[in-house]
C-alpha cells in the first residue's frame, strides 16, 4: 500500500490596503476646493469688465433738423388732366416745359427702330429704376408712386425737346413752361413760407406733419398747386437746443456737421435764435440743396471739438468717502508712493491705549493731506506723529468719485477727474497719480462690486 505524502497547505495572506491613502486624501481636498469655488461662483455677483479707451465723446449732438429753403409754390392757371415732363429734384431753366393740361400723353411716332436706338438715351430711366430697386421699402409704399411718376417723366423727357420749349410727340396745346429757374419738387407741406424766426418746437413733430404728393392727381382744378421750385442755393437747417448746449455754442459762428444719410461733412455759418419756445440753432448752408430738395426733416450730427481723454461709461462711476490724514503724521513708502505708514492709537474697552503701526493705501493727496480708506479707523481713533507727542484725531472726511479697477482680480477704487460727459459716457483725465491708464480694466457697473472683493 503506497503511502501518500501530505500536501503543502501553506496559505499566503493578501494585504488589503486602506482606502485612506495619500492619493485619496489629496483628491478629496481638491474635490472640496472645487465645490467651494463652484459655490462661490454661483453665489457671488458677476462683474462685467470694461477696457478703458482713449478718445473724444461722440454721438451726443445728433438732431433731426428742419430744412428751410427759398421755395415757390406754382399754381395751375386752368383745369383738366395733367401730365408732368420735368423730373423731380432736377434743375430747370426759364422756358423749360414742366407740365401740360388737357394733353393725352405720348403719341405714337413714326420713327424707325434703328434711328430710335441711335438717338435715344435711356440712361435716365435706368438710373430711376435702379434707385427704386435699391431703396425700396415695404414700410414706405409712397416710393412706388414716386417711381411711377419719375418713370413717366423720364419717358416724357426721352420723346420731348424741353430745351427749345416745344414738345413734339404730345397732343394738345396746353404745354406749361416755367418762368423761373430752380429745382422742381412735386410736393407741398404748408411750411414753404416758414422763416427761422417763426420756428416753434411743434414744427419738429413728425406726428402732425403732412406732406402732399402732387403727382398722385390725374386732374387738377384752377389755382390748385401743381409743383414747387427751390429758387436759391442758400438754405438753412434749424435744430432745437437745450440750455446747456446753447450756452456751450453761444460763441460759435461756424460749425462743422455731418449729414447722417451719406456721412458727408460740411462747414456752416452758425447762430442761435431764442423765442418763447426756447433756443434754436441755425446752420446756414450754400450748397447741396438739390440733394435734399424734397426733404423737410434731415438727420445731422454736429462735429464739435470735444475734450479728449480716457473714455469710460457712466455706470462705472462710484462715490466713496475717505479720511483725511495730515502729511506730517505719515511716512511714505519709498518703494511705493501709493502706500504710507502711520502710527494708529485706539482704546480698548477698559480704556487702555493700544498703539500699532499700520500701512494704508493712498487714494488722493493734496499739498497738505493724504486720503485713506475709512475702514482703517474707528471714530475717536488717533494718529501719532513719529518721535513726537503730537497726535491727530481722525474725523475729517472727503468724498471722491472714481471707478473700481479690476486688473488684479479684485476691486480697487481709483479716483477720477471728469473733463466732459454725455448721457452714456464721460471723459476723464489720464495719467493722474492715483487714477486710471489706457487699457485698464474696470467694473462696468460699480453697483455690483465692493472694495477689495474678488472679481468673478
pLDDT, one tens digit per residue, over 384-440 is 998 888 989 998 999 999 999 988 888 889 989 888 887 788 889 887 777 888 899
Q: What is the pLDDT of residue 236?
A: 96
Average pLDDT over residues 291-304: 91
Sign, Cα dihedral of 397, 402, 404, 407: negative
Count the alpha carbons within 13 Å of 347 in the hemisphere toward its beta carbon: 9
For 59-79, the pLDDT digits (tens) are: 568 899 999 999 999 999 888
Q: What is the pLDDT of residue 448?
A: 84
Residue 139 confidence class, pLDDT cut points 50, 70, 90:
low
127 or 222: which leads in pLDDT: 222
Residues 6+ apart with CB under 8 A from 401: 317, 318, 319, 415, 416, 418
**Residue 312 Cα distances to 28, 47, 244, 335, angstroms:** 45, 16, 21, 30
Q: What is the pLDDT of residue 351?
A: 74
Q: What is the pLDDT of residue 163?
A: 40
Query: Kind of pairing, strands 308-313 and 97-101?
Result: unpaired
Residue 333 confidence class, pLDDT cut points 50, 70, 90:
confident
Q: What are phi and psi of 73, to 5 degrees?
A: -85, 130
C-alpha torsion angle, residues 330, 336, 337, 339 (rounded to 10): -40
pTM for this one?
A: 0.57
Angle at 204 between CA 247 and CA 257, to 5 degrees: 55
Q: For all residues of the chain together, what is the average pLDDT?
A: 81
Average pLDDT over residues 23-41: 82
* Residue 120 pLDDT greater than 60, yes or no: no
69 or 45: which leads in pLDDT: 69
For 354-400, the pLDDT digits (tens) are: 888 898 888 888 889 999 998 888 878 899 998 888 989 998 999 99
Ordered DSSP codes for 297-315: EEEEEE---PPEEEEEEGG
Residue 155 confidence class, pLDDT cut points 50, 70, 90:
low
Average pLDDT over residues 290-310: 87
Q: What is the pLDDT of residue 388?
A: 85
Average pLDDT over residues 11-34: 72
Q: What is the pLDDT of residue 161?
A: 45
Angle at 224 between CA 218 and CA 228, to 5 degrees: 90
Nearest to 342 by CA among 365, 326, 363, 320: 326
Residue 304 confidence class, pLDDT cut points 50, 70, 90:
confident
Q: What is the pLDDT of residue 157?
A: 58
Average pLDDT over residues 172-194: 88
Residue ranges of alpha helices (H) inside 2-63 are: 22-43
pLDDT above 70 covers a percentage of the chain that reads 78
Q: What is the pLDDT of residue 282?
A: 96
- Spell out the domain ranges in the chain: 56-69+233-306, 70-231, 312-448
Residue 16 confidence class, pLDDT cut points 50, 70, 90:
low
Residue 223 confidence class, pLDDT cut points 50, 70, 90:
very high
Q: What is the pLDDT of residue 354?
A: 85
Average pLDDT over residues 149-175: 54
What class is the 56-69+233-306 domain? mainly beta
Amino acid at each position: 500500500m503506497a503511502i501518500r505524502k501530505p500536501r503543502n497547505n501553506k496559505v499566503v495572506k493578501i494585504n488589503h490596503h486602506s482606502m485612506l491613502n495619500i492619493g485619496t486624501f489629496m483628491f478629496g481636498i481638491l474635490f472640496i476646493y472645487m465645490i467651494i469655488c463652484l459655490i462661490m461662483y454661483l453665489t457671488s455677483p458677476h462683474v462685467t469688465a470694461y477696457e478703458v479707451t482713449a478718445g473724444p465723446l461722440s454721438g451726443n449732438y445728433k438732431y433731426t433738423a428742419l430744412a428751410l429753403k427759398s421755395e415757390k409754390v406754382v399754381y395751375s392757371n386752368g383745369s383738366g388732366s395733367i401730365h408732368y415732363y420735368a423730373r423731380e429734384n432736377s434743375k430747370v431753366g426759364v422756358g423749360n416745359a414742366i407740365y401740360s393740361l388737357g394733353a393725352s400723353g405720348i403719341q405714337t411716332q413714326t420713327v424707325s427702330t434703328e434711328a430710335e436706338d441711335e438717338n435715344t438715351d435711356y440712361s435716365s430711366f435706368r438710373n430711376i429704376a435702379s434707385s427704386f430697386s435699391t431703396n425700396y421699402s415695404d414700410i414706405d409704399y409712397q416710393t412706388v408712386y414716386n417711381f411711377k411718376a419719375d418713370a413717366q417723366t423720364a419717358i416724357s423727357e426721352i420723346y420731348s425737346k424741353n430745351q427749345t420749349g416745344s414738345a413734339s410727340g404730345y397732343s394738345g396745346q396746353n404745354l406749361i413752361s416755367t418762368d423761373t429757374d430752380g429745382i422742381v419738387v412735386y410736393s407741398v407741406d404748408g411750411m414753404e413760407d416758414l422763416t427761422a424766426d417763426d420756428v416753434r418746437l411743434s414744427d419738429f413733430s413728425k406726428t402732425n406733419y403732412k406732406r402732399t404728393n402732387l403727382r398722385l392727381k390725374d386732374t387738377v382744378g384752377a389755382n390748385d398747386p401743381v409743383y414747387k421750385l427751390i429758387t436759391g442755393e442758400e438754405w438753412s437747417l434749424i435744430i432745437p437746443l437745450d440750455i446747456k448746449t446753447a450756452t456751450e455754442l453761444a460763441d460759435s459762428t461756424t460749425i462743422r456737421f455731418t449729414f447722417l444719410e451719406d456721412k458727408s461733412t460740411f462747414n456752416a455759418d452758425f447762430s442761435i435764435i431764442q423765442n418763447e419756445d426756447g433756443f434754436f440753432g441755425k446752420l446756414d448752408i450754400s450748397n447741396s440743396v438739390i440733394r435734399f430738395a424734397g426733404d423737410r426733416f434731415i438727420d445731422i450730427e454736429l462735429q464739435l471739438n470735444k475734450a479728449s481723454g480716457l473714455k469710460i461709461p457712466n455706470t462705472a462711476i462710484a462715490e466713496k468717502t475717505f479720511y483725511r490724514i495730515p502729511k506730517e503724521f505719515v511716512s511714505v513708502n519709498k518703494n511705493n508712493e501709493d502706500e504710507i505708514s502711520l502710527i494708529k492709537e485706539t482704546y480698548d474697552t477698559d480704556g487702555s491705549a493700544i498703539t500699532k503701526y499700520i500701512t494704508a493705501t493712498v487714494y488722493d493727496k493734496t499739498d497738505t493731506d493724504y486720503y485713506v480708506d475709512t475702514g482703517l479707523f474707528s471714530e475717536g481713533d488717533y494718529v501719532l506723529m513719529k518721535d513726537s507727542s503730537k497726535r491727530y484725531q481722525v474725523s475729517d472726511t472727503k468724498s471722491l468719485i472714481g471707478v473700481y479697477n479690476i486688473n488684479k482680480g479684485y476691486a480697487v477704487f481709483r479716483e477720477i477727474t471728469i473733463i466732459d460727459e454725455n448721457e452714456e459716457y464721460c471723459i476723464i483725465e489720464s495719467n493722474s497719480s492715483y487714477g486710471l491708464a489706457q487699457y485698464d480694466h474696470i467694473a462696468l457697473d460699480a453697483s455690483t462690486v465692493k472694495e477689495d472683493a474678488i472679481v468673478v
